[in-house]
Amino acid sequence: MASSMISSATVAAVNRATPAQASMVAPFTGLKSTSAFPVTQKTNDITSLASNGGRVQCMKVWPPLGLKKFETLSYLPPLNSEQLAKEVDYLLRKGLIPCLEFELEHGFVYRENNRSPGYYDGRYWTMWKLPMFGCTDSSQVLKELEECKKEYPQAFIRIIGFDNKRQVQIISFIAYKPAKGY
């Protein structure tokens, strides 16, 4: 842009230059007029900007009252025993260690008395017995699930898949919800 603001005195000085400067390229003189380019008029109508594929009537807001979201698979209807067995078989095929945990009060994310920077939701679930090291069959896990349900019928129970090499929990899903309106 600075080269387009050269004065005519400077251009004249270039013509009287030394032989080494005589091979220099002529200075930039500017762009073509914009009147030669087609102009499109943009409207200020915001409805033309946002689109959801034309299916506005199909969208629905999730009602937060009485339909709390939990963890993985919580958007599905409750899993029956056969579906739970398939999920546990998947964990076992991936080499994960199944484990059961339960929570008597809150099966969902909540925050209570936290005054620290960062994310912390204060949810510690109680482990049902020990992780099932050496488990080879989903029926063993479902048997433990039934025992936990019998002992704590008002508890949320989840199955987790634990990776003992990396020492982390890989997957977690709710296997049982109490019948008190959740």
Q: Average pLDDT by consecutive 10-residue portion of the chain (182 residues)?
A: 51 53 66 62 60 59 69 80 96 96 78 63 82 94 97 93 93 87 54
Please, is 68 exposed, middle or buried when counting C-beta atoms within 10 Å of its C-beta (0-12, 13-18, 19+)?
middle
Numbers of helices and strands, H then E, in the chain: 3, 4
Count CA atoms within 13 Å of residue 29 on its CB side: 6
pLDDT of residue 2: 52
Q: What is the pLDDT of residue 163?
A: 94
- Looking at domain 81-176, its CATH architecture is 2-Layer Sandwich (3.30)
Domain ranges of the chain: 2-47, 81-176
- Can you tell me which residue has the tokens 């709390």? 68
Q: Residue 52 has what pLDDT?
A: 56
For the chain, the residue count is 182
| The predicted structure's pLDDT at residue 96 | 96
Return the CA Rg of the chain.
34
State residue 102 phi and psi, 5-degree precision.
-140, 155
